[in-house]
Structure 1
């Protein structure tokens, strides 16, 4: 497949690029600073672009089978970036009639699973309070996706780690895995690539966790 990856210099983005290349896909990595992208390989095109300008992104998404995005705030000070930049991507995709997009969101935006332990509920309440600006940004981003004409999927992992990927994780379409507390960034990337051709994930939030 021909894939475009936004946020390709981030932890999940680089994993998406690495795994996609290893699977034989053609990958266009859209970045602001090419020096920060450490992944190389046959089939990779690195494209520098202003992510706030939809016109500058049209060439990167034209004729793509899917767009995968790891765009998001790195800290509370960056809150707002996920919705703003995703809006640019969606505008470019709609102009080029590119339909499939998968983005990284977060587990707290999904429903609380039945039977969730009290300790997990309490922890989630604290996390929601501390990171409320970031989650508000992601909620706007998901609203933008839902209002778009794209075939979108919002992948909602819990706390991320840099452990090696295992390929062993649980997914719940429209829900949240019970006691899903951690997930390696490499497994988030694996899950996103696996969902590209899964019709059950279209226009859905998908919880994913170990």
Structure 2
């Protein structure tokens, strides 16, 4: 089984991914700022206290792994470029340690060529541009870092996230194409976990929703 370097494992989606990945038998090295937030325990889990903005902490997490799953992003009091700068650290370390592949998480506000946004999608993006423009700029910056990395990458995008129970069924499309406006964190994590073994969306940005 693969060993996964996990960033953002203490967040709500990260906790769901961690639980599901450990249940499947994967080995996880998880970098978190506050280890007390990680409730899972397993012989296959190594929790590393640190920060994605610290290259030494990132290297400690990425070395001796098979791929990276990056679920961190903007939270309250984050630096406005945390996802871009953190992803830049991750990519540099992956190149150094010869780790070839990364799966990263973003929102539907990040545009993609296959999207066909409807009026509600455009409205949400407009509101974000006005209220939290740095979130869109940071998501775009992290995409540029991945696109120019020379690595295999997939950016998974989701709509509004809920804490509803896992359904096990959802749609994988693009914004405005075979898509809805919400998904549970547990089902989003399920899709990210499937991509660990499935490279069909490499260099793409699928949108996952009910």
TM-score w.r.t. the length of structure 1 is 0.90
| SS across alignment from 1:138 | helix
8 A Cα contact 2:108 2:157, kept in partner: yes
| Bigger helix fraction | 1
Matches within 5 A, 1:22-171: 22-75=23-76, 78-111=79-112, 113-114=115-116, 117-171=118-172
Other-structure match for 1:190: 190
Q: CA deviation at 1:78?
A: 4.1
| SS across alignment from 2:14 | helix
> Which ranges of 4 or more aligned residues in structure 1 deviate by more than 6 Å?
none
Whole-angstrom CA distance in 2 between matches of 1:58 and 1:128 = 34
Q: Deviations over 1:138-168 (max 9, x none)?
A: 0000100101122111111011111112121
Extract unaligned runs of 5+ from structure 1: none
Q: CA deviation at 1:200?
A: 1.8
| SS across alignment from 1:71 | coil
Indicate the RMSD between aligned Cα atoms, in angstroms: 1.9
Other-structure match for 1:204: 204
8 A Cα contact 2:51 2:57, kept in partner: yes
TM-score w.r.t. the length of structure 2 is 0.90
Residues 18-27 or 163-172, more deviating: 163-172
Residues 140-149 or 44-53, more deviating: 44-53
Whole-angstrom CA distance in 2 between matches of 1:151 and 1:183 = 26
8 A Cα contact 1:12 1:70, kept in partner: yes
